[in-house]
Amino acid sequence: MKKEEIEKLVEQGEMLPLMEEFYTIQGEGFHKGTAAYFIRIGGCDVGCHWCDVKESWDAEKHPPTATKTIVDNALSYSDTIVITGGEPLTWDMTKITHALKERGAKIHIETSGAYPLTGVWDWICLSPKKLKLPTAEISKKAHELKVIVFNKHDFAFAEKQAEKVSENCILYLQPEWSVRDKIVPLIVDYVMKNPKWKVSLQTHKYLNIP
């Protein structure tokens, strides 16, 4: 297949730049502890300096893979599917989510919300970033807001983002892994003073699983 043909299929969502896929336990947020199949899509230009999957940023490093192949493989492991990145909304998620939904899957997305929302979702985890703020639509539709705390200034950012989500959205503060020993006490103190927030931890890293 010619490069131009592949690029068109990617643009249409018939193929996606697949970085990796794996069956594991969701380690973060509301669904922590749940077995789920993760689909990590390459491509992201949000550019968080503390990102722990920077190898996902360059979509051209990850092979365009037929959406049907991704769906078939995912559903052979689990009916709970998490699509993450990179920034998955860089691409049109309509085809992959409809294909998963037609076969009874529960579909979650982890997104910065920086791009327009495409696809159908059972759960939207919004993790906003300062460099590219989320769209108003995604903020209103998010089921959980997960703000990564790298320093004390991130609490003010978290509050600004919390103003944009619905009243039913669950609010989480999660320490950035590399500074967790310093940040966890600050988060605990903040949540105790502001109990509308909950603490999220990257439990999969403590469990030493993907």
Question: Do residues 123 and 148 touch, judged by C-beta distance below 8 A?
Answer: no
* Residue 144 β-bridge partners: 125, 170
Question: Can you read off the two tokens belonging to residue 15?
Answer: 């193929």
Structure confidence at residue 96 (pLDDT): 98
> Hey, what long-range contacts does 45-51 have (CB within 8 A, 24 or more apart)?
45/87, 45/90, 45/132, 46/87, 46/112, 46/114, 46/129, 46/131, 46/132, 47/131, 48/129, 48/131, 48/148, 50/148, 50/150, 50/176, 50/178
pLDDT of residue 37: 98
Query: How high is the pLDDT of residue 2?
Result: 87
Residue ranges for the binding site for [4Fe-4S] cluster?
Answer: 44, 48, 51
Residue 155, classified by CB atoms within 10 Å of its CB into exposed (0-12), middle (13-18) or buried (19+), is middle
Closest to 138 (Cα-Cα) out of 159, 110, 160, 158: 110
Neighbours of 91 (CB within 10 A): 27
Q: What is the rounded distance in angstroms from the CA atom of residue 6 to the CA atom of residue 137? A: 30
Residues 6+ apart with CB under 8 A from 15: 6, 9, 64, 65, 66, 67
Q: What is the pLDDT of residues 131-172, one digit of tens each?
A: 999 999 999 999 999 999 999 999 999 999 999 999 999 999
Annotated binding site for S-adenosyl-L-methionine: 50-52, 86, 127-129
Which strand (E) or helix (H) includes residue 183?
Answer: helix 180-193
Residue 47: predicted pLDDT: 83
For 47, the enclosing helix (H) or strand (E) is none
Q: Which residues does the annotation place in the binding site?
A: 25-27, 40, 44, 48, 50-52, 84, 86, 127-129, 210
Rounded (to 5) percent helix, strand, coil in the chain: 35, 25, 40
Ranges of residues in the chain with a pLDDT under 50 are: none
